[in-house]
Chains A and B, each alone.
Chain A
Amino acid sequence: MNILETRHIVKQYAQHRALDDVSIDIPRGQIFGLLGPNGAGKTSLIRIINQITGPDEGEVFFDGKPLGPEHISRIGYLPEERGLYKKMKVGEQLLYLAQLKGLSERQAMEKLKAWFIKFDIKTWWTKNVEDLSKGMQQKIQFVATVLHEPDLIILDEPFSGFDPINANLIKDEILELREKGSTIIFSTHRMESVEELCDHIALINRSKKVLDGPKKAIKEQFKTHTYHVEYQGVLNDLNPAYTVLDKKPLEDGFLRANIRIPRDAAVNELVRDLIDHVNVRAFGENIPTMNDIFIKAVGEVPTT
């Protein structure tokens, strides 16, 4: 069951089509990576899901029903450009934001207590936001996003502004939220965190969806059937079906080569062939990184 589905979304600004026939399904309980270069239309899509703007064409379904005001309290949103009221006390501010999401003051208070203990930030309650460091403000904002325990959490570049320790803390929180059953839409440019966290991805480029599916399947799809080998010796008389893409000497006298084999060839054959010719130290498949996939997918789109 998908928690969110968009159907043929079109969003047109005066001269510019921000989204063009974008349909995506976001499966419940997963971390969904929404990727794309700057200006591709990610923010437009996120704003439509948050009901900040409406689509010109197309529909959005939340839990199978057309998206409406009643869903606002079930969504939590951490925008990329984030901010808080600077002159307001941390505690008051969080209470206010939680109440806007429909919590009562008492409910909000209870939940906030738990978070403040968890993050060990009890002393911040009466501080003005402007007296906190940027990283601290980010933490507060993260708490504000998830406090009302939304079913769908939208995080736009959640790690920007965090030091590695706090980024890890937030990462663990995200994973924990998924364990508890929340669905997370995760929009980022950092492919290593996509690699680490996402179960499912969609890639938007130039207003169109160009890629969509479970991360594993996409990786499978982008496989190049190349393998790398570290060896000693001369790599010349291999089966002519194999293509040696490149060779480069390593520091310790070994060499490293990338070899492509035909789609239907068996890897065992390649290994056997290699052993016959050279002294193999290491061997492995070149699995495309998210970074490779991103560059490939975005680069592949024909320019009109």
Chain B
Amino acid sequence: MKIIFLILKREYLVRVKKKSFLIMTLVTPLLVSCIWLIPIFFAMRGIDQKKIEVIDETGKFENTFKNTKELVFQTVKTPVEQAKKDFGKSGYDALVHIPVSILENPKSLKIYAEKNVSLDVKSGIEKAIEQEIENIRLLDAGIDRKVLESTKVDVSSDTYSLSDEGEKDSSSGAATGIGYLCAFIIYIAIFIYGVQVMRGVMEEKTNRIVEVIISSVKPFQLMAGKITGVALVGLTQFLLWILLTFGISSVMSSFLGESVGPQKRVEMMAQQPGVSQAPTVEKPKTEQKSSPMTTVLKAVSTLNIPLIIGCFLLYFIGGYLIYSALFAAVGSAVDSDTDVQQFMFPITIPLVLSFIMAQFVIREPDGAVAFWMSMIPFTSPIIMMVRIPFGVPAWEIVLSLTLLMGGFVGTAWLAARIYRVGILMYGKKPSYKELVKWVFYKA
């Protein structure tokens, strides 16, 4: 045990002291904070007003365009050719040309601009004209717009989950998001740190230090120390990432907050792309019962957060251990980077497969595929994490974790048997047949 601790300590310190570790640990939260805060920053700088010149040859669209904070429309009567010529000096940002033929040929609409107009503006203008044409056509057919409106219904529902505690507001959106996020982090972490274990093993082997080390310690101790050491590096890095991200975010947002009240900040966070739909030209957001941000927070709060965090840690560690043991075995079997691919491929198949399957499982978290894949130790860390936010019976979690642990013991045993032979084998690349033989060698 003392020996494993010594090895663990070295593996940990060597990695944590590396410059690349320091840089990764600092840069990542900075980037995440920036991704989060830059849109807010730009939103606060005030919106650039864009002036748009409209040449309406039909004369039917005069009232179609409503001025907003971002866009000011000006209808002019100049001929198109003239307007295009003068566009540079006119001070307008864009020129919309609605030809006479628009009613028959809706594709004849043209937008000119010095730079490309943003997709938002373009689709806003298109939508407004589309609707106006629709209106005109409806009127021509003798249908009043109001009649049509009254036939439209907007069905939306709140989802509730029925549990022992009675009816609870739930959001499958939040569950999907959280589940997918957890699965993604586990997937990435297994790859990053699993490969670190493999590189470490290969380094010892190609440096030939391994023979000195295993004349002092058992190969299994060396492998175990390395795997746990790297695991701690991973946990340290994640912990620092979380702390630093929160720290940097709050420092940066309080810095931004000096000019804006907190009320407005929340509002702006809510307006971020992804959180709410981008506002459209003809229908600026006016009514919204609650901001989407609070909806998300509310939905998240209905999830069993402690369970999710607990399971996340267990599956994170379990998944990492099971795969890093295999990565260690691969590292011990090969001499050079070029041989790595062949052996890495079969190991990564279940990992990649479960990540791909996660998208399907998320749509049907209680299906048979979801169940079985969350039991198999090689796929359960990802698949089960996807399912847990949706609610999984306790016995399934317990069974899956037990199987995961059993799977780890099995793989660790197998990996250790390959490892102890592999680290002393130099020269030719072993075949799978030889790897199997190594497993059965007497110690």
Verify B6–A99 contact, CB threshold 8 A.
Answer: yes
Picked from A53, A79, A88, the residue with its CB within 8 Å of the CB of B212 is: A79
Verify A77–B212 contact, CB threshold 8 A.
Answer: yes
Verify B207–A85 contact, CB threshold 8 A.
Answer: yes
State in angstroms the CA–CA spacing of A71 and B162 once bound together: 65
Question: Which residues between 97 and 149 of chain A lie within 8 Å of chain B, taking CB atoms?
Answer: 97, 99-101, 141, 144
Picked from B3, B215, B217, B437, the residue with its CB within 8 Å of the CB of A75 is: B215
Verify A96–B10 contact, CB threshold 8 A.
Answer: yes
**Most chain-A CB neighbours within 10 Å: which of B3, B14, B207, B212?**
B212
Question: Which residues between 220 and 241 of chain B lie within 8 Å of chain A, taking CB atoms?
Answer: none
Verify B209–A83 contact, CB threshold 8 A.
Answer: yes
Residues of A contacting B217 in the complex (Cβ-Cβ under 8 angstroms): 100
Q: Does B364 contact A (CB under 8 A)?
A: no
Question: Which residues between 190 and 235 of chain B lie within 8 Å of chain A, taking CB atoms?
Answer: 203-204, 207-209, 211-217
Q: Which residue of B lies closest to A54 (CB)?
A: B443
State in angstroms the CA–CA spacing of A14 and B435 once bound together: 12
Q: Residue-by-residue, is A66-80 near B (CB-CB < 8 Å gives 1, otherwise 0)?
A: 000000100101110
Residues of B contacting A52 in the complex (Cβ-Cβ under 8 angstroms): 211, 214-215, 424
CB distance from B332 to the nearest CB of A (A): 14
Q: Which residue of B lies closest to A141 (CB)?
A: B212
Q: Which residue of B lies closest to A11 (CB)?
A: B442
State in angstroms the CA–CA spacing of A115 and B416 once bound together: 36
Q: Does A51 contact B (CB under 8 A)?
A: yes
| Chain B contact residue count (CB 8 A cutoff) | 22
Overall SS of chain A's interface: loop
Verify B437–A83 contact, CB threshold 8 A.
Answer: no
Report how many A-B pairs have Cβ atoms within 8 Å: 61
Q: Residue-by-residue, is A16-58 near B (CB-CB < 8 Å gives 1, otherwise 0)?
A: 0000000000000000000000000000000100111110100
Residues of A contacting B443 in the complex (Cβ-Cβ under 8 angstroms): 53-54
Picked from A53, A56, A78, A84, the residue with its CB within 8 Å of the CB of B209 is: A84
Given A82-B208, A84-B207, A84-B209, the answer on whether A101 and B442 have CB atoms closer than 8 Å is no
State in angstroms the CA–CA spacing of A104 and B191 once bound together: 36
Overall SS of chain B's interface: helix
Residues of A contacting B426 in the complex (Cβ-Cβ under 8 angstroms): 81
Q: Which residue of A lies closest to B216 (CB)?
A: A100
CB distance from A55 to the nearest CB of B (A): 9
Q: Does A87 contact B (CB under 8 A)?
A: yes
**Most chain-A CB neighbours within 10 Å: which of B209, B214, B437?**
B209
Q: Which residue of B lies closest to A75 (CB)?
A: B215
Given A52-B424, A54-B442, A83-B207, the answer on whether A100 and B213 have CB atoms closer than 8 Å is yes
Question: Which residues between 1 and 40 of chain B lie within 8 Å of chain A, taking CB atoms?
Answer: 3, 6-7, 10, 14
State in angstroms the CA–CA spacing of A277 and B213 once bound together: 66
CB distance from A142 to the nearest CB of B (A): 12
Given A14-B437, A84-B207, A85-B209, the answer on whether A77 and B215 have CB atoms closer than 8 Å is yes
State in angstroms the CA–CA spacing of A75 and B208 once bound together: 19
Residues of B contacting A180 in the complex (Cβ-Cβ under 8 angstroms): none
Q: Residue-by-residue, is A153-174 near B (CB-CB < 8 Å gives 1, otherwise 0)?
A: 0000000000000000000000
Residues of B contacting A72 in the complex (Cβ-Cβ under 8 angstroms): 215-216
Given A14-B437, A52-B424, A87-B14, the answer on whether A82 and B212 have CB atoms closer than 8 Å is yes
CB distance from A80 to the nearest CB of B (A): 9
Verify A100–B209 contact, CB threshold 8 A.
Answer: no
State in angstroms the CA–CA spacing of A278 and B7 once bound together: 74
**Most chain-B CB neighbours within 10 Å: which of A84, A96, A144?**
A96
Q: Residue-by-residue, is B398-421 near A (CB-CB < 8 Å gives 1, otherwise 0)?
A: 000000000000000000000000
Residues of A contacting B442 in the complex (Cβ-Cβ under 8 angstroms): 54, 56
Verify A97–B214 contact, CB threshold 8 A.
Answer: no
State in angstroms the CA–CA spacing of A87 and B3 once bound together: 21
State in angstroms the CA–CA spacing of A47 and B219 once bound together: 13
CB distance from B337 to the nearest CB of A (A): 16
Given A14-B437, A52-B424, A54-B442, the answer on whether A83 and B208 have CB atoms closer than 8 Å is yes
Residues of B contacting A281 in the complex (Cβ-Cβ under 8 angstroms): none
State in angstroms the CA–CA spacing of A84 and B207 once bound together: 6
CB distance from B374 to the nearest CB of A (A): 40
Q: Residue-by-residue, is B112-149 near A (CB-CB < 8 Å gives 1, otherwise 0)?
A: 00000000000000000000000000000000000000
Given A83-B207, A85-B207, A86-B207, the answer on whether A97 and B215 have CB atoms closer than 8 Å is no
Verify B207–A100 contact, CB threshold 8 A.
Answer: no
**Most chain-A CB neighbours within 10 Å: which of B211, B217, B442?**
B211
Residues of B contacting A97 in the complex (Cβ-Cβ under 8 angstroms): 212-213, 216
Q: Which residue of A lies closest to B214 (CB)?
A: A52
State in angstroms the CA–CA spacing of A75 and B215 once bound together: 9
Q: Which residue of B lies closest to A12 (CB)?
A: B442
Residues of A contacting B204 in the complex (Cβ-Cβ under 8 angstroms): 85
State in angstroms the CA–CA spacing of A97 and B7 once bound together: 10
Question: Which residues between 370 and 417 of chain B lie within 8 Å of chain A, taking CB atoms?
Answer: none
CB distance from A220 to the nearest CB of B (A): 36
State in angstroms the CA–CA spacing of A236 and B442 once bound together: 66
Verify A81–B215 contact, CB threshold 8 A.
Answer: no
Chain A interfacial positions (CB closer than 8 Å to B)? 14, 47, 50-54, 56, 72, 75, 77-79, 81-88, 96-97, 99-101, 141, 144
Beyond known contacts A72-B216, A82-B212: 10 more, CB 8 A cutoff: A14-B437, A47-B424, A78-B212, A79-B208, A83-B209, A84-B207, A85-B203, A85-B207, A100-B6, A100-B217
Q: Identify the 7 closest CB pairs spanning chains A and B, nearest first.
A: A83-B208, A83-B207, A100-B216, A50-B215, A79-B211, A77-B215, A81-B208
A-B contact pairs, 12 of them (CB 8 A): A52-B424, A53-B424, A72-B216, A77-B211, A77-B215, A81-B208, A84-B209, A85-B203, A85-B204, A86-B207, A96-B10, A97-B212
